[in-house]
Structure 1
Amino acid sequence: MTTDWVEVADRVLVWRQPVLDVNAVLVVGGAGALVVDTLSTDAQARELADAVHRVTPLPWRVVNTHHHFDHCYGNAVLAPEPGTEIWAHTECVARYERWISADGGAARVAEVAAEYPSIPDVRGVTLRGPNRPVSGEATLDLGDRRVDLRHLGRAHTDNDLVVVVPDADVVLAGDIVENGAPPSFDDSWPLEWAGTVAALVELAPGTVVPGHGVAMSLDEVKAQHADLTALEWACRDGWRDHAPAAEVAAKAPFASPLAVERAYAFLDGKL
C-alpha cells in the first residue's frame, strides 16, 4: 500500500501509516516546518522523511504527542542532528531520559518488540527522546504562522500534548481521540479523559486530526466525549456500588474491563 499526503487544511498534511493506522502530520510555515509524530520504526520514519522532503526544503522541528512507540520511535531518523528540537510533554521527556540512561533504551525497545511481534523492525530502533519539554503550553514560530502546543489534561496517557494550528482551524489531537477503533486504555486516566476532551472541544476547531484514523469533525469529537463521559460515570457508580469491573465494563461504552480497573485503582488511591 502506497502512503501519500492528504492536505486537511492549508499546508497541514496528514501521512497515514497503514501499520497501526497511525498518523504523522506535517505543518508547513514560511520559514520552517513541524513534523508531528515520527511513527514506529526506522523504515517507516525514513519513508516519512523522504515524503517531507518532497513537500518542502525547509528545516523542521518535531513534536511527539505522547510517549508511545508508534508516535516516537522514528525520532532518531526524523531528528538525526543533536540540535534538532523534539518537543513533548515534560513527562514524556522524563520517560525517555530514564529509559535511555538505564541501558541506552535497549530494554524498553525489547519490551515493545515483544509486545508487537508483527512489527519486527521495532527491534532495530535506537531510542532518541524529546529534548524540549512542555509542562503546560508553548508557542512555535514557523515564519508566517504560529503553532501552539498545549497539555489539556490527562487522558490516553499522563503526557498527551495537542498541537493547535490557529490560522488553519485545526487541532492535532494525538490519541486523545481516535477514529475507527476504540480508545486504548493501557496508560489511561478514565476519570479524567472526558474532561480533557471537553477542553479540546472548547478550542472549537473545524478539523481534528486524531492519532489514528481519518480526520474528524467537531461533532464526531463531541460524540466521543459523550461516550467517555458515560464511561466515567459508569466507573464511579460501579466503584461506589462495589460492582465487579467486568460487570461494569459490559454495560459501559468501549466494553473495556481495563478502563474500569484503572478507574477503580485511581479511586482506591493506588494509581
Structure 2
Amino acid sequence: MDGQWVEVADRVLVRRHAELDLSAGLVVGDGGCLVVDTRGDERQGAELAAEVRRITRAPWTVVITHSHFDHSFGTRSFLECPVWAHEDCRADLAENGAAARDTWARWYRERGDDGIADDIAATEIVLPDRLVTGVAELSVGGRRVVLSHFGPGHSGNDLVVHVPDAGVVFAGDLVENGAPPDYEDAHPLGWPPALDGLLGLLGPGDGTVVPGHGDPVDRGFVVAQRAEIAAVAELCREVAAGRMGLEEAVQLSPYPRETTVTALGRPLDGPPPAPGGREIMRARSWGCPG
C-alpha cells in the first residue's frame, strides 16, 4: 500500500507513507470530501493534498485524530477549510506544538536527515478551528461521518472517525499495526476503555479499522490488541500499588521491554510529558534515520 491510494470500502481510501509508515485517510462524498490526518510537516502535507486532488476536486474538510506531529503538522497545505479535532488537541498544539517542532527537527538532524529536519523546522503549526468534546457528526458530501472521543488512551485527545455507511473506522494511534503501541504520551488505564468505545462502533461484524500506522485491520485484530493493552494496564496498577516489581512486570508483559518500561513509568492519571518528548519510541520502532 506504500505510496498509493487503496480503497478499503466504497469511496473510503487509505494512503500509506514510508516515513513512519503513517496512514492518511480520505472519505469522498457527492460534492465534498474529508481528509483524515495531514502528515508531519508542510511539505508532506502539500504532497498529500496533491494526491487527494488526483482523486477528487471536491472541497475538503480535515480531521486530526490527535495532536502528535506526524498526524497534524501538515495541515497548513489544506487551508482554507474547516479543521476538526478534539478540544485538547488544539490546546496541546497551542501549548506544546512549537517545542515539539524543535524537538523533532533536532531529532532528524542528529540522525543525518537534514531534509526532513528543515521541513519540520519551517512548518507553521495550524490550530484546529472545529472542536469536539465528546461526539460530533459531519455530513461529507451527503455521507454521515461521526467523530468520537472515548477518553484518553494513546494520547489525551484521541479522536475516532467512523464512516457508518462503509463500516470503516479511522482509529488514529489507538490501534497500532506493525510496531508495539506507543506509550510516551499515553494514559495506560484509559486506553482499554477507549478501545471498548471504538469496538462498539463496529457492531458484531468485522468492519475495517485503519490504524494510524500500518495496514488496515479487522475487529478481531483490535480485540486481540485491546487484551494486550489491558494486560499492560493491569501491570501498571500492580507496580504502582507495590505488589509487583518492574522486572517481573517486564517478564509478564506482551510487549518488548522498552515499551513496557515506558508504560510503567506513566502516572496512572496520565498527565502530559515534557513538551516535544512524544513518540520517540515509535520512530525507533519504524526505523527512522539513524
Supply the AA of the counterpart residue of 2:219: L
In the alignment, which residue of structure 2 is the partner of 1:231? 232
CA shift in 2, pair 1:194/1:99, >3 Å:
closer
Q: Distance in 2 between matches of 1:270 and 1:27?
A: 31
RMSD of equivalent CA atoms: 2.1
Runs of 4+ in 1 over 4 A off after TM superposition: 267-271
Matching of residues 65-144 of structure 1 within 5 Å: 65-79=65-79, 81=80, 84-99=81-96, 105=98, 107-117=99-109, 118=113, 119-120=116-117, 121-144=119-142
Displacement, 1:21?
0.3
Q: Please say which of residues 122-131 and 222-231 is displaced more in the overlay.
A: 122-131
Contact between 1:37 and 1:71, CA under 8 Å: does it hold in 2?
Answer: yes
Query: What is the distance in 2 between the residues matched to 1:14 and 1:59?
Result: 18
Alignment gaps of 5+ in structure 2: 274-290
- Superposition TM-score, scaled by structure 2 size: 0.84
Paired position in structure 2 for 1:160: 158
Aligned residue identity for 1:259:
A
- Once the two structures are superposed, residues 23-61 of structure 1 have per-residue CA deviations (whole angstroms, 9 ceiling, x without a partner) of 110100112100000001222111111111110110001
CA distance in 1: counterparts of 2:126 and 2:254, whole angstroms? 36
Distance 2:101 2:237 in 1: 36
Q: Equivalents in 2 of 1:158, 1:270: separation in Å? A: 8
1:176 equivalent in alignment to 2:177: no
Distance 1:269 1:129 in 2: 21
Does residue 242 of structure 2 align to residue 241 of structure 1?
Answer: yes
- Counterparts in 2 of 1:134 and 1:269: CA distance versus 1, 3 Å: closer
Q: Which sections of structure 1, spanning at least 5 residues, go unmatched?
A: none
Equivalent position of 1:147 in the other structure: 145
Q: 2:3 aligns to what?
A: 3
The structural deviation recorded for 1:246 is 4.3
Alignment-derived partner of residue 222 in structure 1: 223
Aligned partner of residue 203 in structure 1, secondary structure: helix
2:32 alignment partner in structure 1 = 32
**1:175·1:210 contact (CA, 8 Å) conserved in 2?**
yes
Q: Where does residue 211 of structure 1 map in the other structure? A: 212
Higher relative contact order (CA 8 A, sep 6+): 2
Aligned letter for 2:23?
A: N
Whether contact under 8 Å (1:231, 1:252) holds in the other structure is yes
**Residues 98 and 235 of structure 1, relative CA distance in 2, 3 Å threshold:** closer
2:15 and 2:270 mapped to 1: Cα distance? Answer: 41
The alpha-carbon deviation at position 234 of structure 1 amounts to 1.8
Aligned 8 A contact 1:246 1:257 in 2: no
One-letter amino acid of the counterpart of residue 148, structure 1:
V
* Cα distance in 1 for residues equivalent to 2:189 and 2:70: 24
Q: More displaced, 20-29 or 107-116?
A: 107-116
Range with greater deviation from structure 2 (18-27 or 240-249): 240-249
1:202 CA displacement: 1.5
Shift of residue 2, structure 1, vs aligned partner: 6.7
Mapped to 2, the partners of 1:185 and 1:172 lie a distance apart of 19
**Aligned position for 1:266:** 268
Query: Does the CA-based 8 Å contact 1:245-1:261 persist in structure 2?
Result: no
1:24/1:235 Cα in 2 relative to 1: closer, same or farther (>3 Å)? same
1:63 positional shift: 0.5
Cα distance in 2 for partners of 1:42, 1:247 equals 44
Give secondary structure in 2 for the equivalent of 1:167. Answer: coil
| Alpha-carbon contact 2:83-2:128 (below 8 Å) kept | yes
Indicate how the Cα distance of structure 1 residues 189 and 49 shifts in structure 2: closer, same or farther if over 3 A, else same.
Answer: same
Q: CA deviation at 1:240?
A: 2.5
CA distance in 2 between counterparts of 1:6 and 1:195 reads 30
Aligned-residue offset at 1:253? 1.8
